[in-house]
């Protein structure tokens, strides 16, 4: 019995090329960038899958058997992605969580009209314990598209609604590549036996409401009182004390928290619900990064029909002021995000009980 029906065998490369035909006048430049990125992701995936082995070899003398220095996996993923992408000649600059400043392609490559931002390996606390981690990415057009000069910080500090594509790769029970160019979200799963990403879920839609919430609830005491009330509310059982059984009321919600934002948000995309990383009294700006975490994930979730805000404002409307800016994030099914927002703005009827 074949694993996939033959009619479903659409590779990522094939899909990207097919998409391009839909845009008269498309130059194919962007298609090439996505090809380069999928190549980089295959390399990162291979090395994530061998991470434990590399560590054991490396631990002996701090060098592996080839006499090479053993790098931390997140630094390694950063280097692979920069090296695969800079040589395309289509990027004006890159920006990564692993680099303090913007990264310019080496002088021997030319500067193109696109900007790439990425988090090479999200979920760093999970790398050494075999729990799902992922790479987040997004692309913008530089402000002056005709410029042949190196890109500038201004080219990166654009609001998320200007992203031309965004997505992520997840290294979990399989490796998946999820991306959107603003026309729906598609999921590709890596088949290592043929070395290709195959289309496994086309035009994914997030459920309008879900019964999972995902957050580090250990910080409960640091949160604002209205948010604490939200957590009381979602744990109440809608069926106790002879209350009317309302099918839309899914309480008590179930808790799921991997601690890798991109993995928690991927589950939220598929099953519905809410992922939140709020501000608290020790991190008033929140923890997650606007440019290379919140914006790309917001674009994917919105394209799937969901919602992403900082509790008030749409994430993709926020003007970034610095490369590593942090932001509170409430993201997921539309109804769940609206529900928590009503607690934050004090209008939810539960608050007046
Ligand atoms: P990490 O620091 O482990 O890289 O982006 C940062 C992030 O992971 C998210 O992926 C994750 O959801 C969150 O931080 C985990 O933070 P807590 O340890 O505070 O829960």
- What are the tens digits of pLDDT across the range 216-237? 999 999 999 999 999 999 999 9
- Which atom of ligand 1 approaches the CA of 260 most closely? 10
Q: What's the 261 CA to ligand 1 centre distance in angstroms?
A: 6
Which residue out of 74, 222, 261, 295 has the highest number of ligand 1 atoms within 8 Å of its CB and is therefore the one to mutate?
Answer: 261
- Which atom of ligand 1 approaches the CA of 126 most closely? 3
- What are the tens digits of pLDDT across the range 186-197? 999 999 999 999
Cβ contact 110:90 at 8 Å: no
pLDDT confidence of residue 21: 73
pLDDT confidence of residue 54: 64
Asked whether the predicted pLDDT for residue 123 surpasses 70, the reply is yes
Q: What's the 277 CA to ligand 1 centre distance in angstroms?
A: 9
What b-and-e string marks burial along 86-101, b requiring 16 or more CB atoms within 10 Å of the CB? bebebbbbbbbbbeee
Nearest Cα to 51, choosing from 36, 64, 38, 40? 64
Q: Per-residue pLDDT averaged across 231-252, rounded?
A: 81
Alpha-carbon distance of 229 to 344, in angstroms, equals 10
Other beta carbons within 10 Å of 160? 25
Question: Which residue's CA is the closest to the ligand 1 atom numbered 18?
Answer: 259
- Which atom of ligand 1 approaches the CA of 262 most closely? 10
Q: Per-residue pLDDT averaged across 29-47, rounded?
A: 92
pLDDT confidence of residue 284: 96
Q: What's the 210 CA to ligand 1 centre distance in angstroms?
A: 22
Does this model's pTM top 0.95? no
Q: 11-20, 107-116, 242-251, 259-268: which has the minimum mean pLDDT?
A: 242-251
Q: What's the 16 CA to ligand 1 centre distance in angstroms?
A: 31
Mean pLDDT of the chain: 90
Nearest Cα to 306, choosing from 330, 280, 334? 334
Alpha-carbon distance of 26 to 275, in angstroms, equals 36
Q: Is the CB of 324 under 6 A from ligand 1?
A: no
Q: Per-residue pLDDT averaged across 6-25, rounded?
A: 77
pLDDT confidence of residue 145: 93
pLDDT confidence of residue 57: 45
- Which atom of ligand 1 approaches the CA of 289 most closely? 5
DSSP sequence for 224-262: -HHHHHHHHHHHS-TTGGG----TT--PSPEE---S-HH
Alpha-carbon distance of 31 to 308, in angstroms, equals 27
Alpha-carbon distance of 59 to 298, in angstroms, equals 39
**Residue 96 CB contacts under 8 Å (≥ 6 apart), including other chains:** 78, 81, 82, 103, 117, 118, 119, 120, 292
Stronger pLDDT, 276 or 1, i.e. the higher one? 276
The proportion of the chain whose per-residue pLDDT surpasses 70, expressed as a percent, equals: 90
Q: Which helix (H) or strand (E) holds 202?
A: none
Asked whether the predicted pLDDT for residue 168 surpasses 80, the reply is yes
Q: Is the CB of 125 under 6 A from ligand 1?
A: yes
Alpha-carbon distance of 248 to 209, in angstroms, equals 8
Q: What's the 330 CA to ligand 1 centre distance in angstroms?
A: 14
- What are the tens digits of pLDDT across the range 282-301? 999 999 999 999 999 999 99
Please give the backbone phi and psi of residue 126, each rounded to the nearest 5 degrees, phi first: -100, -5
Q: Is the CB of 124 under 6 A from ligand 1?
A: yes
Question: Which residue's CA is the closest to the ligand 1 atom numbered 19?
Answer: 216
Report how far Cα 81 is from the mean position of its chain's Cα atoms.
Answer: 16
Nearest Cα to 264, choosing from 210, 338, 313? 210
273: left (phi over 0), alpha (psi -120 to 50) or beta: left
Q: Which of the four pLDDT bands, split at 50, 70 and 90, describes residue 258?
A: very high
Q: What's the 125 CA to ligand 1 centre distance in angstroms?
A: 7
Asked whether the predicted pLDDT for residue 69 surpasses 60, the reply is no
pLDDT confidence of residue 242: 55
Alpha-carbon distance of 214 to 275, in angstroms, equals 5
Question: Which residue's CA is the closest to the ligand 1 atom numbered 8?
Answer: 123
Alpha-carbon distance of 72 to 121, in angstroms, equals 11
pLDDT confidence of residue 261: 98
Cβ contact 87:105 at 8 Å: yes
């Amino acid at each position: 019995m074949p694993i996939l029906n033959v009619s479903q065998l659409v590779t990522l490369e094939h899909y990207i090329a097919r998409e391009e035909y839909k845009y008269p006048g498309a130059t194919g430049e962007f298609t090439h960038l996505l090809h380069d990125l999928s190549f980089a992701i295959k390399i990162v995936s291979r090395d994530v899958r061998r991470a434990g082995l590399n560590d054991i070899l490396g631990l002996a003398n701090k060098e592996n058997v080839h006499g090479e220095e053993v790098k931390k996996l997140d630094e390694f993923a950063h280097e692979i992605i920069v090296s695969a992408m800079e040589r395309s000649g289509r990027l004006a600059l890159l920006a990564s969580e692993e680099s303090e400043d913007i990264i310019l392609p080496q002088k021997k490559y030319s500067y193109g009209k696109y900007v790439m931002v990425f988090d090479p390996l999200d979920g760093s606390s999970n790398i050494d314990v075999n729990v799902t981690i992922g790479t987040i990415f997004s692309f913008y057009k530089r402000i002056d598209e005709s410029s042949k000069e190196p890109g500038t910080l201004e080219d990166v500090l654009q609001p998320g609604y200007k992203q031309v594509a965004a997505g992520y790769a997840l290294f979990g029970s399989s490796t998946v590549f999820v991306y959107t160019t603003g026309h729906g979200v598609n999921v590709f799963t890596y088949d290592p036996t043929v070395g290709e990403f195959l289309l496994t879920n086309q035009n994914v839609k997030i459920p309008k409401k879900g019964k999972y919430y995902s957050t580090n609830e250990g910080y409960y005491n640091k949160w604002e009182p209205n948010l604490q009330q939200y957590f009381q509310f979602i744990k109440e059982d809608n069926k106790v004390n002879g209350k009317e059984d309302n099918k839309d009321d899914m309480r008590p919600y179930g808790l799921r928290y991997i601690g890798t934002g991109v993995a928690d948000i991927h589950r939220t995309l598929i099953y519905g619900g809410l992922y939140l990383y709020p501000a608290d009294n020790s991190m008033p700006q929140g923890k997650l990064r606007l440019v290379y975490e919140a914006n790309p994930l917001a674009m994917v979730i919105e394209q799937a029909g969901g919602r992403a805000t900082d509790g008030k404002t749409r994430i993709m409307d926020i003007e970034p002021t610095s490369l590593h800016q942090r932001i509170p994030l409430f993201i997921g099914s539309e109804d769940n995000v609206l529900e928590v927002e009503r607690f934050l703005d004090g209008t939810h009827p539960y608050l007046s009980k």
